[in-house]
Every structure is written in C-alpha cells, then in structure tokens.
Copies of this chain bind each other. A is one copy, B any other.
Amino acid sequence: MEQAQVFSDFLTHKGLKSTIQRKLILETFLASRSHCSIEDLYLKLRKKHSKIGYATVHRTLKLLVECGIAIEQHFGDGHARYEPVRENSHHDHLVCRECGEIIEFEEPRIEQLQNQVAMAHNFTIISHRHELYGLCSGCAQK
C-alpha cells in the first residue's frame, strides 16, 4: 500500500481529517532529500502554497512519525530531521562535523552484537541509535 493511502487510513482511523495541507506536506516530504529538517520542508512548501504555517508542518510531521511513514532523527545540531521509512531497510549514520553530510550504513553484524548485549542485561530493545561523527573523505583531505 502506498504511503498516501496509509496516511489517509491512519487519519480516518483516528477521527482526523484529510486536508490539502496534510496531503501537500506528505507529498513534499516524500519528494525531498532524506534527512530534511522542518525548516527545509517549510521553505519548500511555501513555494507551492505560500500561506502554509510553520506549526502545520511541525504538527503534520509528528503525525507522519506516528503512523510509521517517517522517523525523527537528531544529529546534535539542534534541528530535528525527518526521513522516510523504507521497508526492511534499517540503517545508521555517519555524520560529517565539517560539511554536515549524512551517510547511511548498514551492518547486520553490529545489530546482532547489539542483541547479544541486550540479552545479557535482560533488556528489551525498542529502538536504537548509532552514529559515527567525524570527517567525510572530502573534508578530511583539507
């Protein structure tokens, strides 16, 4: 099922309404580069629909997180970032401190070790975050 349908069903199920703003925000979010901030999306949306409010973008992104279409990320610059959820594709991040580039990585062996660690502490994992901060290849050369 495509995301627009998932969102629509989610809204109906919660007794919420489908509005042109919500549709537009979802559409713009999905068409954007990954890891965009609220500010990024807001500015892009203003070009199509100049009256849209910052609060509406904010509220709608929370809804997208709630219904599983987006996930919220924090990389330490004080701006929450949002990323579309892809099926069967968990990944973590390399974050360049210099240019801000964000590179995704997957390492199933790390995930497996994580599970071992949790098990050793009788801990039930709900989610995790794993980020490596440093310099990307371009910035390291300078």
* Interfacial residues, chain A to chain B (CB-CB below 8 A): 74, 76, 94, 96-97, 103, 105, 107, 109-110, 113-114, 116-118, 120-137, 140
Please measure, in the bound complex, the distance between the C-alpha atom of A119 and the C-alpha atom of B121, giving whole angstroms. 30
For the complex formed by this chain, how many copies does it contain in all?
2
A27–B102 CA distance with the chains assembled, in angstroms? 39
Q: How far is the CB of A134 from chain B (nearest CB, A)?
A: 4
The answer on a CB contact under 8 Å between A135 and B124 is: yes
A109 nearest CB neighbor, chain B only? B113
Q: In the complex the two chains form, is B130's CB within 8 Å of A130's CB?
A: yes
Contact A123 B107 (CB under 8 A): no
Chain B residues near A116: list those with CB within 8 A: 107
